[in-house]
Amino acid sequence: EYGITRPAGYKVSFHYNSQVEDMHFGKTHPMKPWRLTLTKHLVLGCGLQYAMDTFEAVSATKEQVRAFHDPDYVDFLAEVSPGTFEELCKMPRFASHAPPKHDYDAVDLGPFNLSTSPGADCPVFDGMSKYLFLYTGATLAATNQLTTNQSDIAINWSGGLHHAHRAEASGFCYINDIVLSIVDMLRVYPRVLYVDIDVHHGDGVEEAFQRQPRVMTLSYHRYGPYDDTGHKFFPGTGDLTDVGLKGTVGEHFALNVPIPSGIDDRQYKYLYESITGRTIEAFKPSAIVLQCGADSLGGDRLGQFNINIKQHGECVSFVKNMGLPLLLLGGGGYTARNVARAWCHETALATDNVLPDNIPMDLVPRPEAFMGRAHGEGKMYPAFNRLHVNDCKDSDLEYMVKRLDN
Ligand code: V1S
Ligand code: CA
Ligand code: ZN
């Protein structure tokens, strides 16, 4: 119907398992795995499955996850559920990972920054182990397609969980599938470039490779105070001066582009293309991993940028045009209908297809069919753009480009 064709001269693979859709982080939690249901239905509704090889993901093994994560943490994640949490917390080898308790903490935190309290960033929920090992399995299968030369571009929209640390969950991320992927890539590729367009700083990935000159990390993110109380935008790291661990061989192999709220398409394009372009020229990567967090779109529930889907997609096209093995991952994205539209559009770009400007509503199942809530009424999704208060000055952006150019 949309005249979908296979790309000429290269291969794309798509990795997914629908079981990740059934998960619920909690009633008020912004992370909604059913945004992946919307994405899948849009991708299939447009016929993009005919343009690529589709693979049903299988769970990663504990051994695979131990390539980066602490063995105790891996065992805990594999066994934890709301029913087993209390018991596991009492076991000495897990209890030793508990954070110090403060009575002013809003939520009770257990070992590894996990919690069963409602409102926690990293709650323990039903089916959680299944979810974590599945999104990781999908990223590792996608990675394998690239490293064995069976795909030129591999996609996993359920992955891209960039905040997870070696022995600690953080910011809705439990297993750092990105780090696991890059560790695996380093067996085959001399240098890997990681680019992160999620509105949040890719701190977990940067930290993991802070001493590793074969991995360059480059994150674009909102940075600075975000409210009247002076609280920092999560996770509060990723200043311009943060360029990797000083005094180690990893120094200068991390780049951060801190951005004020309200950045628009033109400004973002200028920053992204000049800095990413210069980085690729200088670093000469053998492969690229792009975390496509959709919370950098205008209108996101947590984000504060004004980027349209068109520009978000141009970030994908820009690195795709380098002609290097490319891994496309998801990440944040909290206004579900926009997340689905962006990632469907980017699946089309990856396969050299063009979709109509307005994706008809009838291709998207009504979200209330999944969640019992009304969302996304109306016939068409408009070319969405929330006008956030624009703190973003061209002069600041020019300064960043100059600073990072050296
Ligand atoms: N911004 C934000 C935000 N909102 C929440 C939240 C809200 C309701 C809940 F029921 C649970 C959590 N947490 C945050 C942030 C974390 C943002 C993570 C982004 C992840 C990603 O898109 O980059 C990748 C998938 N957390 C905080 O701001 C920390 C707190 C400081 C405030 C919230 N409380 C719950 C913990 C401490
Ligand atoms: Ca980012
Ligand atoms: Zn994010």
Position 377 scores a pLDDT of 34
Q: What is the spatial distance between Cα 278 and Cα 258, in angstroms, rounded to a whole number?
A: 17
Whose tokens are 């991952």? That residue is 329
Position 382 scores a pLDDT of 41
Nearest CA to ligand 1 atom 24: 332
121 lines ligand 1 (CB under 6 A): yes
Position 366 scores a pLDDT of 46
| Tens-place pLDDT, residues 215-226 | 999 999 999 887
Position 36 scores a pLDDT of 97
Helical axes 336-350 vs 35-45, angle rounded to 10° = 40
Both tokens of 323, joined, read: 């002609």
Q: 215 has which bridge partners?
A: 192
User: Nearest 5 degrees, angle CA 109-CA 170-CA 319?
Assistant: 175
Of 304, 284, 294, the C-alpha closest to 213 is 284
Q: What is the spatial distance between Cα 157 and Cα 136, in angstroms, rounded to a whole number?
A: 11
Q: 289 has which bridge partners?
A: 194, 327
Q: Ligand 1 pocket check: which of 29, 121, 197 to mutate, most ligand atoms within 8 Å of Cβ?
A: 121
Centroid of ligand 2 to alpha carbon of 153 (angstroms): 21
| Tens-place pLDDT, residues 173-221 | 999 999 999 999 999 999 999 999 999 999 999 999 999 999 999 999 9
Q: Which domains does the chain have, with CATH numbers?
A: 12-405 (3.40.800.20)
* Residues making up the chain, counted from first to last: 406
Both tokens of 354, joined, read: 């063009």
Which residues, including other chains, have CB under 8 Å from residue 178's CB and lie 6 or more apart? 139, 159, 160, 161, 162, 194, 202, 204, 205, 289, 291, 329
Position 99 scores a pLDDT of 83
Of 115, 69, 72, the C-alpha closest to 92 is 72
Q: What is the spatial distance between Cα 49 and Cα 43, in angstroms, rounded to a whole number?
A: 7
Residues with C-beta atoms within 5 A of ion ligand 2: 196, 198, 219, 221
Position 108 scores a pLDDT of 84
Per-residue HEC secondary structure of 136-185 comes to HHHHHHHHHHHHCCCCCEEEECCCCCCCCECCECECCECCCHHHHHHHHH
Provide φ and ψ at 382, rounded to 5°. -75, 160
Q: 217 has which bridge partners?
A: 194, 254
Ligand nearest to the CA of 123: 1
314 lines ligand 1 (CB under 6 A): no
Q: 288 has which bridge partners?
A: 193, 326
Both tokens of 119, joined, read: 């409102």
Below-70 pLDDT ranges, the chain = 1, 103-106, 358-389, 406
Nearest CA to ligand 1 atom 1: 302
- 201 is an active site residue: yes
Q: 115 has which bridge partners?
A: 123
